[in-house]
Structure 1
């Protein structure tokens, strides 16, 4: 007979609540919801961080993840949905997920955009069956009023990640170890 402990119940409720919060109406108007969230996120990013407009202009495409939820209580995980845009048009939809373990406690939400700075990096992303973030990525963490660092805007790396709009009670946000998978909303 299985024994339910407080810790097991807490973890189960936390995981269930996280997954329920991530739903966006699969089988319904999921694509329209994702596109609306992506539009709002891009508009916010351009208004708050004007330097990102230059990144978009120089990039081959960008993956916009409007809301990523990250939760950790011993075990942790992240989940979010977004859209890949090429020349301003949505070409695919993706989910983002990761799992982690260790000393962690808290929850947060944030937005992030991956700018594919070369046609090759965009092609590799689109042709992969589940793309995982590797070491060839530059991070730009943005806070209110901060501008992009010069080394970010002149980087020769194939992918630049911009993380912004963090809220919650967890220190730091990272997309390392994150897997992106094409979805049909």
Structure 2
């Protein structure tokens, strides 16, 4: 009896693990972006808002995530792959992984550009990683999903993040930690 139960539980665990790997592979494939996507995202951001164009001109480099995904139910996370762009050239591939906590529910995909405002921060990202903390509020406005960033805490406030192209629906308020590193 116990052997049969143990065998059944073992079979379920092995099957579940293979499904987790397949789900991880599917998510990674869906998050795949290309250089052209990054350049198109930068151009779109500059064209839809004059303030973004000004920030772009003042920045020393940009981290462009053409397609990021985020999901939450009290606890949640986000993931994106993108590019570090300096002087209109791709320098490195970048990965963003984050987690959040707060009264949030739903999921969305979006585009994100993080403008790097000083050479020191660019150097930190190129030689290691960058961690930032921020608060976000997600809500619906005129039938569209919106996200506002507030209380951003990063070394010297040298990063400016813009989120746009949102689809899906996420509502709530949360405290987020985001880890940006070079994709190896």
User: Which category describes the TM-score, using the shorter chain as reference length?
Assistant: 0.5 to 0.7
Unaligned runs of 5+ in 2: 1-5, 135-140, 145-155
* Counterparts in 2 of 1:165 and 1:88: CA distance versus 1, 3 Å: same
Instruction: Quote the offset at 1:34 in angstroms.
Output: 2.2
Whose radius of gyration is greater, 1 or 2?
2
What SS does structure 2 have at the residue aligned with 1:45?
helix
Superposition pairs for residues 5-84 of structure 1, below 5 Å?
17=23, 20-23=26-29, 33-84=33-84
Name the structure with the higher strand share.
2
Instruction: Quote the offset at 1:75 in angstroms.
Output: 3.8
CA RMSD, 1 decimal: 3.5
What SS does structure 1 have at the residue aligned with 2:39?
helix
Instruction: Quote the offset at 1:103 in angstroms.
Output: 4.5
* Counterparts in 2 of 1:96 and 1:52: CA distance versus 1, 3 Å: same
Q: Tell me if structure 2 keeps the 8 A contact 1:34–1:81.
A: no
CA distance in 1, matches of 2:162, 2:37: 17
* Counterparts in 2 of 1:24 and 1:168: CA distance versus 1, 3 Å: closer
Counterpart position of 2:132: 133
CA distance in 2, matches of 1:85, 1:35: 10
- Deviation digits for residues 110-155 of structure 1, max 9, x if unmatched? 1111111111121122222x321147xxxxxxx99xxxxxxxxxxx
Counterpart position of 1:140: none
- Number of residue equivalences: 154
What SS does structure 1 have at the residue aligned with 2:34?
helix
Superposition pairs for residues 95-134 of structure 1, below 5 Å?
95-101=95-101, 103-128=103-128, 130-134=129-133
* Counterparts in 2 of 1:172 and 1:60: CA distance versus 1, 3 Å: farther
| TM-score, scaled to structure 1 | 0.68
CA distance in 2, matches of 1:71, 1:47: 28
CA distance in 2, matches of 1:174, 1:74: 8
